[in-house]
A and B are shown apart, each in its own frame.
Chain A
Amino acid sequence: DQQVKQNSPSLSVQEGRISILNCDYTNSMFDYFLWYKKYPAEGPTFLISISSIKDKNEDGRFTVFLNKSAKHLSLHIVPSQPGDSAVYFCAASDSGGSNYKLTFGKGTLLTVNP
């Protein structure tokens, strides 16, 4: 049972345009959400997070939106740059659970074309 789903395995956008990466979750206990970026043969790098008490968090070119009623979150990157090309993982945790274990989606490969 996949509790965190990233239904788009890949996304291709033009440099300068907006990239929108989507993530859905099923576990209503999740209350903290994170986005990670991963290059091949490297560990994931933390990008941005959001708590369930908020519906938006912004950091530079990255904005995460959370829709709790729909159990949906999205990562917006604007403007997109070729260096943003990577796999993006959505992750969720239940902060009331033990050790803040993260549950990951399968990732979306973003390609930003020059």
Chain B
Amino acid sequence: GAVVSQHPSRVICKSGTSVKIECRSLDFQATTMFWYRQFPKKSLMLMATSNEGSKATYEQGVEKDKFLINHASLTLSTLTVTSAHPEDSSFYICSASGGAYYNEQFFGPGTRLTVL
């Protein structure tokens, strides 16, 4: 299967600062990348869908000005949590699809964000 990486794997930041998380598809061109958030004991919640070169489509209830998504190339998407607050602390996971993998999503290892 395809490989997707995320960086950093863990980040701790102070309240009010911004944090950028990178998602890379290492061995295929990801025309679409997805960003998820996982709450404890709950399913993966889709935050937004991004297509390379266009604006992200956000799910209902997700603030686009708070969670900035950029998908500037076929191998890289970034999620920036702006002015982070403790309630933004969560496990953020990206996935990628495209090319031969158009009907599947391959997930990154996730990023644990802790906002103090």
Q: Measuring CB to CB, which residues of chain A are less than 8 angstroms from any residue of chain B? A: 32, 34, 36, 41-46, 49, 89, 93, 95, 98-102, 104-107
Contact A99 B51 (CB under 8 A): yes
Q: Is B49 an interface residue (CB 8 A)?
A: yes
Contact A100 B43 (CB under 8 A): no
Q: Is B78 an interface residue (CB 8 A)?
A: no
Looking at the complex, which one of B42, B102, B110 makes contact with A43 (CB distance below 8 Å)?
A: B110
Q: How does the 8 Å CB contact mask read for B50-78 relative to A, with 1 for contact and 0 for none?
A: 01000001000000000000000000000
- Report the interface size for chain B: residues with CB under 8 A from the other chain: 27
Bound together, the chains give a CA A33 to CA B39 distance in angstroms of 23
Bound together, the chains give a CA A95 to CA B112 distance in angstroms of 31
Interface-centre pick from A41, A43, A98 (highest chain B CB count, 10 A): A43
Contact A104 B103 (CB under 8 A): no
CB contact list, B74-94 vs A, under 8 A:
91, 93-94
Q: Is B15 an interface residue (CB 8 A)?
A: no
